[in-house]
């Protein structure tokens, strides 16, 4: 590609990204998600790709399955995973409009991950003819990744089982645009304490303080953090009590945990489920749920990485690998099924989930070409 063609490509990608970012689509707004899905659908239907929608009900948007399969082609292919929801509430654009400053293009959800999806989709559009890729390509866009992919998980896993590789459009790691080969697993711990209410002044001795019991459990949970082994347990919220002059009968904490592999997840589960109530009169309920299992860097991941590094070279840049990250994504689901998975292949930039979220415009064209080479040549 000569420099004029690269500039033209950059301009058109930039315009498409701005269109997508200016349609806000937070995970909890079904109407906005459906509008976002409709915008993507319109843009896909202007080309030769196929699009199928999987309805997930009225509480979210649909899954969009965009592919270049010839009719009847059931071969396992390349699964490209993305999401079109963002963490930013409606109205964020008013304070934080889509704008360019130097090489940085800012806007809510631009880096995580609307620009990443635009890159993959743009490449796939050029490969709409089934004979232009060695494997069929299935681009699957979900509406609920930022809230844990609860509605779309089973579909993601179904698609992954029919794939040879999974490539994920999550943002490239800030600083050098590194890709991701390993992610910690993540989940939640909920502990609920059931005390006994009493008048705090008249019958204090009859009360059993649920908040006090939960305070003990907070300390016990936080102690399970082990930085050396890569385990964190972080109590994020506590709710409890009614008013200051009542001994609280109920209290609940919710904690986030991250673990580097399945064995440590099991060990943590045992430790958490083994927690004992400190006050014998205040029973506790302990709930441990692993949402996303850890994404391990396997031998097959390393092979896929090496091939993709060659495609990046063709596109004009070095693809480096990030160290294991504590952030989970839908890549965790596909990797846990044993499918070689590479993540962090989306846009280069910084500031995911913040007001200074941005992408680097000068990297768009080469990163889009990188997608083109991966999708066309992987076999």
List residues near Zn ion by CB under 5 A. 112-113, 170
Please say whether the beta carbons of 165 and 106 come within 8 A: no
Supply the minimum distance, in Å, between the C-beta of residue 303 and Zn ion: 25
Please say which residue, 240 or 327, places its beta carbon nearer to Zn ion: 327
Q: Which two tokens stand for residue 334?
A: 């596909």
Q: Which two tokens stand for residue 39?
A: 């915008």
For 123-191, the three-class secondary structure string (H helix, E strand, C coil) is HHHHCCCHHHCCCCEEEEEECCHHHCCCCCHHHHHHHHHCEEEEEECCCCECCCCEEECCECEEEEEEE
Q: Which two tokens stand for residue 72?
A: 């009847």
Please say which residue, 197 or 346, places its beta carbon nearer to Zn ion: 346
Supply the minimum distance, in Å, between the C-beta of residue 289 and Zn ion: 21
Supply the minimum distance, in Å, between the C-beta of residue 287 and Zn ion: 26
Strand partners, 66: 51, 139
Q: At which residue do the structure tokens 């649920």 appear?
A: 210
CA distance 275 to 103: 51
Please say whether the beta carbons of 332 and 292 come within 8 A: yes
Supply the minimum distance, in Å, between the C-beta of residue 112 and Zn ion: 4
Please say which residue, 112 or 321, places its beta carbon nearer to Zn ion: 112
Please say which residue, 113 or 115, places its beta carbon nearer to Zn ion: 113
Supply the minimum distance, in Å, between the C-beta of residue 354 and Zn ion: 13
Please say whether the beta carbons of 114 and 43 come within 8 A: no
Please say which residue, 112 or 213, places its beta carbon nearer to Zn ion: 112
Please say which residue, 134 or 353, places its beta carbon nearer to Zn ion: 353
Number of residues written out for the chain: 379
Cα 297 versus chain centre, distance: 18
* Cα three-residue angle 50-130-338, rounded to 5 degrees: 85
Please say which residue, 327 or 340, places its beta carbon nearer to Zn ion: 327
Strand partners, 180: 343
Tell whether the torsion through CA atoms of 186, 187, 191 and 192 is positive or negative.
positive
Supply the minimum distance, in Å, between the C-beta of residue 333 and Zn ion: 13
Residue 242: in which H helix or E strand, if any? none
Please say whether the beta carbons of 163 and 76 come within 8 A: yes
Number of CB atoms found within 10 A of residue 83's CB: 29
> Which residue, judged by CB position, is nearest to Zn ion in the bound state?
112
Supply the minimum distance, in Å, between the C-beta of residue 352 and Zn ion: 7
Please say which residue, 149 or 252, places its beta carbon nearer to Zn ion: 149
Supply the minimum distance, in Å, between the C-beta of residue 33 and Zn ion: 14
């Amino acid at each position: 590609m000569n420099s004029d063609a690269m500039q033209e490509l950059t301009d058109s990608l930039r315009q498409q990204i701005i269109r997508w970012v200016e349609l806000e689509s937070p995970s909890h707004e079904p109407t906005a998600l459906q509008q976002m899905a409709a915008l993507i659908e319109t843009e896909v239907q202007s080309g030769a790709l196929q699009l199928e929608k999987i309805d997930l009900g009225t509480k979210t948007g649909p899954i969009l399955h965009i592919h270049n399969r010839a009719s009847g082609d059931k071969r396992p292919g390349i699964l490209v995973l993305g999401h079109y929801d963002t963490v930013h509430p409606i109205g964020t654009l008013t304070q934080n409009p889509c704008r360019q400053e130097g090489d940085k293009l800012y806007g809510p959800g631009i880096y995580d991950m609307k620009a990443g999806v635009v890159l993959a989709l743009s490449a796939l559009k050029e490969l709409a003819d089934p004979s232009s890729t060695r494997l069929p390509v299935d681009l699957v866009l979900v509406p609920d990744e930022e809230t844990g992919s609860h509605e779309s998980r089973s579909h993601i896993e179904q698609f992954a089982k029919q794939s040879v590789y999974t490539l994920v459009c999550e943002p490239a790691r800030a600083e050098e645009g590194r890709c991701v080969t390993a992610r910690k697993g993540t989940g939640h711990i909920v502990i609920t304490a059931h005390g006994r209410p009493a008048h705090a002044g008249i019958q204090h001795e009859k009360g059993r303080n649920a908040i006090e019991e939960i305070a003990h459990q907070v300390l016990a949970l936080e102690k399970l953090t082990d930085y050396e082994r890569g385990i964190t347990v972080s109590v994020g919220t506590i709710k409890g009590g009614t008013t200051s002059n009542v001994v609280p009968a109920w209290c609940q904490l919710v904690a986030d945990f991250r673990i580097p592999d399945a064995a440590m997840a099991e060990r943590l589960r045992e430790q958490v489920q083994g927690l004992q109530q400190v006050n014998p009169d205040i029973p506790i309920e302990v709930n441990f749920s692993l949402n996303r299992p850890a994404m391990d860097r396997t031998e097959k991941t390393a092979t896929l990485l090496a091939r993709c590094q060659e495609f990046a070279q063709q596109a004009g840049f070095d693809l480096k690998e990030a160290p294991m990250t504590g952030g989970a994504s839908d890549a965790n689901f596909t990797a846990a099924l044993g499918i070689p998975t590479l993540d962090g292949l989306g846009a280069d930039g910084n500031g995911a989930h913040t007001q200074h979220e941005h992408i680097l415009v000068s990297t768009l064209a080469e990163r889009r070409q990188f997608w083109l080479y991966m999708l066309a040549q992987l076999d």
